[in-house]
Amino acid sequence: MNTDKQYDAILVHVYWLSNIDGDVKLSTRSNLVAASAASLYLQGKVKNIVITGGKIWGKEYPSVARLMANELTNTFTIPQEHIFIKDIALNTSQEIDEFLKIAEKMNWQSLLDLASKKHFWTISKLYMNKGVKDKVEFVNMEDVLLKGNNDELIKRVKKLMYSKYEFNYILYELVIRLVLFIDPQYTLLGKIAGKERIKKTFAGLLPFLPMDEYQL
């Protein structure tokens, strides 16, 4: 990311949901990524925010994109007209595809991709496999929030970074990165994700490997 540049749009990758006392909310990682997207917007670094994460718990639950958009407007007062939602993606590859479609339609030229730091082990590979890596620049949630002045967010980021959830997430991303060498277009992984991520789960694809929770 070029700190002296203003980007037309940023793709905000979504993560998991959580159900606290009966309310469906964003997981810790999703919540922190939303906070970092808001920070970049309020600093004037990006003009528009794009979220494409779908209904990962099934049709009866809200999409991650909708919940994240609500967080951006209600907590951070981001104007709704600068948030673009296409909540159909069930995996990272689909998130990227939908983002690029919106960018082409809107004729956006400067694009940014925002995610959790370890997620870029697979995100960068996906852009490369799609032949569009040169069209997008990257920035990670941890760098954005740790360089900010919100002590509570800094504390939460550090707690996540040194938790069992982060260790498990590292293992998860390493496995996906390896699979991408034999499934470069995410075809097989996408089908698996499409089946598993429409079920209510707190852990992602591997129930024995929890990578997130709502509160740490």
pLDDT band (50, 70, 90) for residue 112: very high
pLDDT over 60 (residue 130): yes
- Would the pLDDT of 196 be above 60? no
> What one-character-per-residue DSSP string does 109-143 give?
-SEEEEE-GGGHHHHHHHHHHHT-GGGEEEEEHHH
pTM of the model as a whole: 0.90
pLDDT higher than threshold 80 for residue 193 = no
The answer to whether the beta carbons of residues 203 and 209 sit under 8 Å apart is yes
What are the C-alpha distances in Å from 4 to residues 46, 72, 82? 11, 24, 21
> Three-class SS of residue 12?
strand
The predicted structure's pLDDT at residue 111:
98
Calculate the alpha carbon distances from 150 to 44, 52, 145, 207 in Å. Answer: 17, 27, 8, 33
For 131: left if phi > 0, alpha if psi spans -120 to 50, otherwise beta; the answer is left
Instruction: Yes or no: say if 148 and 123 are a contact pair by the CB < 8 Å rule.
Output: no
Residue 24 bridge partners (DSSP): 19
- Tokens found for residue 5: 């540049």
Which pLDDT band holds residue 183 (cuts at 50, 70, 90)?
Answer: confident
Q: Residue 80: what pLDDT?
A: 95
Position 69 pLDDT exceeds 80: yes
Residue 204 has pLDDT above 90, yes or no: no
**How do strand 17-20 and strand 23-26 relate by DSSP bridges?**
antiparallel
